């Protein structure tokens, strides 16, 4: 089936989604459709040759055909009729709209097949506190944490790391070594969310990334990457990550540790991520695997971590969860009418 890339959305990560879609275009050889979701949540059909960052910055997308989501696909409406666009949609909307469940709910409601996290998985991975609970349910360790609102102070000893509760790409994330740094870090984090997650900041921790999915052919797992970074992986580094298309080298790990990371990934994935290609970011502390976060829609779907990424995507597109068919026959209403002696 034809692949349809959905990107954009009303989100702090709107521009990142554009960069991610452009990067994905470069690595997929098959013909693609591109549907841009503007900040006002209108849908626009973008020609492949128009997939350039400045095209969107200039708002030239408004000259393109507008689309409307309908049952089974998208519709372009003209004076003399309509044209339908159908295929497997790839949810590449990072942050709000794409990762919080809004788009997943819409696509599922309209029975549009799509690659991406379903509604429940979106909710659990978008909220960092819920992700901690997910890890616990899956039997995967995670760092201690607390959630605070404005006016509250963290209870952890310094140094600590502060993260907006519902945001990705390291936007609004900061480290506080003392009370003076804490005040500034709180101001930044609360700019993006009204709740902030607090964790102890573990210096020198090893970070590892693993992407993958499960298909009819079994597990499709990427290499395990150790991202090159400073002490804190900041927004600029993650922004560049979304544009990556070149392959990476596997992290030098012992086989038992590699297997532990893969097992932790599988445990998380089985908690409702069927139909999605996700990336899990892990910490290694004292040879023990900790979940840092789940990226339900990784930048350019982490193509650079796979050998044969296009094959993985094709296999996943044929392994999507099937919606359950529900037959409504009004038997209950008819039985009530019969009991009352009505036809």
Question: Do 127 and 268 sit in the same domain of this protein?
Answer: yes
Question: Do 163 and 212 sit in the same domain of this protein?
Answer: no
Residue 326 pLDDT: 86
Residue 310 pLDDT: 96
Question: Do 161 and 82 sit in the same domain of this protein?
Answer: no
Residue 235 pLDDT: 46
| Cα radius of gyration rounded to whole Å, the chain | 22
Question: Do 208 and 311 sit in the same domain of this protein?
Answer: yes
Instruction: Give a yes or no: residue 343 inside a domain.
Output: no
Range of the domain at 173: 146-200
Taking only the tens place, the pLDDT of each residue in 195-222 is: 999 999 998 899 999 999 999 999 999 9
**Mean pLDDT, residues 14-22 taken together:** 96
Question: Do 306 and 211 sit in the same domain of this protein?
Answer: yes
Instruction: Give a yes or no: residue 38 inside a domain.
Output: yes
CATH of the domain at 56: 3.40.50.20
Burial letters for 5-34: b for 16+ Cβ neighbours within 10 Å, e otherwise? bbbbbbbbbbbbbbbbbbbbeebbeeebbb
CA distance 283 to 202: 10
Strands 196-200 and 146-148, bridge-based pairing:
antiparallel
**Mean pLDDT, residues 258-278 taken together:** 98
Question: Do 194 and 105 sit in the same domain of this protein?
Answer: no
Confidence of residue 57 (pLDDT cuts 50, 70, 90): very high
Instruction: Give a yes or no: residue 338 inside a domain.
Output: no
Cα-flanking dihedrals φ and ψ of residue 331, to 5°?
-60, -40
Cα-flanking dihedrals φ and ψ of residue 289, to 5°?
-90, 130
Question: Do 127 and 261 sit in the same domain of this protein?
Answer: yes
**Mean pLDDT, residues 259-281 taken together:** 98
**Residue 145 contacts residue 197 (beta carbons within 8 Å):** yes
- State how many domains the chain has: 3
**Residue 145 contacts residue 198 (beta carbons within 8 Å):** yes
CATH of the domain at 231: 3.30.470.20
Question: Do 224 and 167 sit in the same domain of this protein?
Answer: no
**Mean pLDDT, residues 145-158 taken together:** 95
Confidence of residue 243 (pLDDT cuts 50, 70, 90): low
Instruction: Give a yes or no: residue 303 inside a domain.
Output: yes
Instruction: Give a yes or no: residue 188 inside a domain.
Output: yes
3-state SS of the chain is: CCEEEEEECCCCCHHHHHHHHHHHHHHCCCCEEEEEECCCCCEEEECHHHCCHHHHHCCHHHHCCEEEEECCEEEEEECCEEEEECCEEEECCCCCCCCCCHHHHHHHHCCCCEECCCHHHHHHHHCHHHHHHHHHHHCCEECCCEEECCCCCCCCCCCEEEEECCCCCCCCCEEECCHHHHHHHHHHHHCCCCCEEEEECCCCCEEEEEEEEEECCEEEECCCECCCCCCCCCHHHHHHHCCCCCCCCCCCCCHHHHHHHHHHHHHHHCCCCCCCCEEEEEEEECCEEEEEEEECCCHHHHHHHCCCHHHHHHHHHCCCCCCCCCCCCCHHHHHHHHHCCCC
- The residue from 200, 220, 236 where one domain ends is 200
CA distance 245 to 234: 20
pTM over 0.85: yes
Instruction: Give a yes or no: residue 234 inside a domain.
Output: yes
Cα-flanking dihedrals φ and ψ of residue 31, to 5°?
-60, 140
Write down how long the chain is.
343
**Residue 171 contacts residue 13 (beta carbons within 8 Å):** yes
Instruction: Give a yes or no: residue 333 inside a domain.
Output: no
Residue 336 pLDDT: 84
Taking only the tens place, the pLDDT of each residue in 93-151 is: 999 999 999 999 999 999 999 999 999 999 999 999 999 999 999 999 999 999 999 99
Instruction: Give a yes or no: residue 278 inside a domain.
Output: yes
Question: Do 188 and 211 sit in the same domain of this protein?
Answer: no
More confident residue, 245 or 6: 6
Q: Name the token pair of 292.
A: 């840092």
Query: Which residues are bridge partners to 285 per DSSP?
Result: 288
Confidence of residue 230 (pLDDT cuts 50, 70, 90): low
CATH of the domain at 165: 3.30.1490.20
Number of alpha carbons in the 13 Å side-chain half-sphere of residue 102:
14
Question: Do 61 and 37 sit in the same domain of this protein?
Answer: yes
Question: Do 241 and 286 sit in the same domain of this protein?
Answer: yes
Confidence of residue 277 (pLDDT cuts 50, 70, 90): very high
Question: Do 196 and 209 sit in the same domain of this protein?
Answer: no
């Amino acid at each position: 089936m034809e692949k349809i890339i959905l990107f954009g959305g009303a989100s702090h990560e709107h521009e990142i989604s554009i960069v991610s879609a452009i990067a994905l275009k470069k690595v997929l050889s098959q013909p693609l459709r591109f549907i841009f979701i503007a900040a006002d949540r209108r849908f626009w059909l973008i020609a492949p040759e128009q997939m350039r960052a400045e095209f969107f910055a200039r708002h030239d997308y408004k000259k393109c055909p507008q689309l409307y989501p309908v049952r089974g696909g998208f519709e372009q409406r003209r004076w003399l009729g309509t044209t339908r666009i159908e295929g497997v949609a790839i949810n590449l909307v990072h942050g709000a709209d794409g990762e919080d469940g809004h788009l997943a709910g819409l696509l599922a409601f309209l029975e549009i097949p799509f690659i991406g996290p379903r509604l429940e998985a979106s909710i659990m991975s978008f909220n960092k506190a819920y992700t901690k609970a997910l890890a616990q349910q899956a039997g995967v360790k995670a760092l201690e944490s607390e959630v605070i609102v404005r006016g509250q102070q963290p209870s952890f000893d310094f140094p600590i790391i502060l993260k907006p509760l519902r945001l990705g790409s390291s936007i609004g994330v900061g480290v506080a070594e003392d009370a003076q740094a804490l005040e500034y870090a709180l101001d930044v984090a609360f700019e993006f969310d009204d709740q902030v997650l607090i964790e102890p900041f573990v210096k020198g921790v090893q970070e590892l990334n693993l992407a993958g999915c499960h298909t009819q052919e079994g597990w499709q797992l990427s290499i395990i990457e150790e991202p090159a970074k400073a002490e804190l992986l900041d927004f600029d580094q993650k922004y560049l990550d979304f544009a990556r298309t070149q392959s990476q080298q596997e992290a030098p790990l012992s086989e038992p540790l590699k297997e532990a990371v893969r097992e932790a990934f599988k445990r998380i994935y089985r908690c409702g991520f069927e139909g999605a290609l996700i990336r899990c970011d892990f910490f290694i502390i004292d040879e023990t695997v900790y979940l840092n976060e789940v990226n339900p829609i990784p930048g350019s779907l982490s193509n650079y971590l796979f050998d044969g990424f296009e094959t993985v995507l094709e296999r996943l597109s044929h392994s999507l969860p099937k919606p359950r068919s529900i037959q409504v026959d009004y038997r209950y209403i008819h039985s009530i009418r019969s009991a009352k002696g009505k036809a």
